[in-house]
Structure 1
Amino acid sequence: MSRSRKPDWLKMRPPAGREFTDIKQTLRDHDLNTVCEEANCPNLGECWSGRNGSTDGGTATFMLMGHRCSRGCNFCDVETGGMEPLDPDEPANVAEAIAEIGLDYVVLTSVDRDDLPDQGAGHFAETIREIKQRHPGILVEVLIPDFQGEPDLVRKIIDAEPDVIAHNVETVERLQWPVRDRRAGYEQSLSVLEQVARESDIYTKTSLMLGVGEYHHEIWQTLSDLAEIDLDIVTLGQYLQPSRTHLDVERYVHPDEFDTWRDVAEEEFEFLYCASGPMVRSSYKAGELFVDAVLRDGKSVEEAREAARSVASD
């Protein structure tokens, strides 16, 4: 299935434009990684090129703690193994790059660092604080690892006070393996999200890939489980195989089906917002616009949903 021709709705705009090249150069100057590049995100050109003069702004998702991951998930294009020491200057470098790029909403994620005593939680928290101290008006969303489900490590992120804490369940319970590394797990991921929802007023968010062999009733059950722990925001997108050595695509999900799941998520399970579409990823500008509109502009949830959907449909 993965070698079959992609449908027309999965055509991507190639990266281009002055804003794109400027951001790329800024990242190189500060020796920074982005998940946009490392994971071959299909929206890289759209997100990076939509900055100056646009209504939605540009965005980049900074990937902390190196470009090598201690885990090997079968859907992910990030390199595995060969872990390197943390860069103590990275938190300051990220903050400086944000100022140069001119972002007012930033997303931070990281590789898994199971090799470190605190799995990198302290470094992650330091980066959040550095950004907030230098740029008090900026909104910070973080996409964190599971930290092996250790509550004290998750609490370090909560105490740093980002505006959104995301952690991805990635797929339905039955398919956690072979999709994810065996050290990850469905219940473990739910526990991380539930802790954030229980111990803070910070928005919670997760992402689910479709097209890896899940059944409709399993998607419904996953949404039900997420609603049960009071999750705020969910994104659903099409899995795309990074290379022939990665997990096969079982099917290409039609945009109409994504629309149906969005309606189910928002109307039946009453999530605050659901971004759902073939090219949607966990860090996606429509979802970021929703949070920005609610927190900064004071829009109602319905007004923020409408604004975010208009961006997603462009």
Structure 2
Amino acid sequence: MLKPDWLRVKAPQRERIGAVADLLVDLKLNTVCQEASCPNIGECFAGGTATFLIMGPGCTRACPYCDIDFDRSVRALDPSEPERLGEAVARMGLSHVVITSVNRDDLKDGGASQFVACMEEVRRRSAGTTIELLIPDLCGNWDALAAVMAGAPDVLNHNIETVPRLYRHVRPQGLYPRSLELLRRVHQDWPRTYTKSGLMVGLGETDSEVLEVMADLRAQAVDIVTIGQYLSPGAKHLAVQRFVTPYRFDHFRHEGERRLGFLQVVSSPLTRSSYHAGEVQRLMRTHPR
């Protein structure tokens, strides 16, 4: 299936992304921008931003839509990773940082302690930087979630990814009700933290199913939703079932903000979970907690 014109982006020029890429190599850090083959890597790197991927690059789940490597082995956490990440944030002068991870089902706490250590290092070196975490479902370990939230992230993101009907096909080791429960608990127990979730379209869902998922997320008091076009990383991954038009993405945004009451809906073909994530700072100023 050929990409429509609205999904075509220019290949990033080395001189525009080189500084960020070189810094990541120097500090031996991974980014989801690189590992997940994000189409916005040129724009984000050229603008001096990146979404840091910790505890990776191998993931203990093999979701068929994802380009991150599968690794089921038991691996120790790198104790120097938080310090290196904190240094990168300071050297890049980031006002907002997104920290995500692969799934680490081999760890008792799912990697909660590493998230906390990374937040501590960012705040030690860059006290004014707001922190957004994009976390896995932690296998429903609510004690691990509490440990993460004890670090007081400004934004807690957990992606719902797709509609319930497609979960077994798209996200076979995930559970739709478990993801909703995680988001509900964050709002209920840590109401000062902004909650966020995202989903992909183009995997076989209908527009009405997308709106139903958005309603489910709003029922958990989720503040921010991102919606973007799924793009297959390769022949071994799930195929694209449809290309959603920009008009439909605008419709999702309108319905989400005007009818359902989200504080923000970021919806466009190239939207990804952390694309323009720093804009949340404006939302935090206009809707303080």
> So what's the TM-score if we normalise by structure 2?
0.96
SS in 1 for 2:159: coil
Verify: 1:206 aligned to 2:197, yes or no: yes
Whole-Å Cα distance in 2 between the matches of residues 114 and 17 of structure 1?
36
Secondary structure at 1:275's aligned position in 2?
A: strand
Question: TM-score by structure 1 length?
Answer: 0.88
Which is further off, 8-17 or 40-49?
8-17
1:288 aligns with 2:278: yes
Single out whichever of 30-39 and 125-134 deviates more from structure 2: 125-134
Select which of 112, 118, 121 maps to 2:109: 118
Which structure 1 segments of 5+ residues have no match?
51-57, 302-314
Q: Aligned match of 1:261 in 239, 252, 255? A: 252
Q: Which amino acid aligns with 1:39?
A: A
Q: C-alpha separation between the residues in 1 aligned to 2:10 and 2:90?
A: 27
Instruction: Name the amino acid aligned to 2:88.
Output: A
For the Cα contact (< 8 Å) 2:30–2:56, is it kept in 1?
yes
Please tell me the residue identity of whatever aligns with 1:131.
V
The amino acid across from 1:199 in the alignment is D
User: Which position in structure 1 is the counterpart of 2:62?
Assistant: 72
Q: Percent identity?
A: 43
Contact 1:119–1:147 at 8 Å: present in 2 too?
Answer: yes
SS in structure 2 of the partner of residue 235 of structure 1:
strand
Q: 1:1-314 residue pairs with structure 2 within 5 A?
A: 4-16=1-13, 18-50=15-47, 58-83=48-73, 84-180=75-171, 182-200=172-190, 201-285=192-276, 287-289=277-279, 291-295=280-284, 298-299=285-286
- 1:300 Cα deviation from its structure 2 partner: 6.0
SS in 2 for 1:80: coil
What amino acid does structure 1 have at the position aligned with 2:176? Y
Contact 1:16 1:45 in 2 (8 A): yes
**Partner-residue secondary structure (3-state), 1:46:** helix
CA–CA separation in structure 2 for the residues paired with 1:39 and 1:186: 22
Match of 1:53 in 2: none
Report if the CA contact (8 A) 1:164-1:202 is conserved.
yes
- Name the structure 2 match of 1:306: none
Kept after mapping to 1: 8 A contact 2:16/2:42: no
Shift of 1:19: 4.8
Tell me which amino acid in the other structure corresponds to 1:254.
T
The number of equivalent residue pairs is: 286
CA displacement at 1:219 relative to structure 2:
1.0
**Inter-partner Cα distance in structure 1 for 2:176 and 2:56:** 25
Unaligned runs of 5+ in 2: none
* Bigger mean CA deviation after superposition, 12-21 or 247-256: 12-21
| Cα displacement (A) at 1:17 | 5.2
- Secondary structure of 2:100's aligned partner: strand
Q: Contact (CA 8 Å) 1:66, 1:86: kept in 2 or not?
A: no
Q: 1:13 touches 1:46 (CA, 8 Å); kept in 2?
A: no
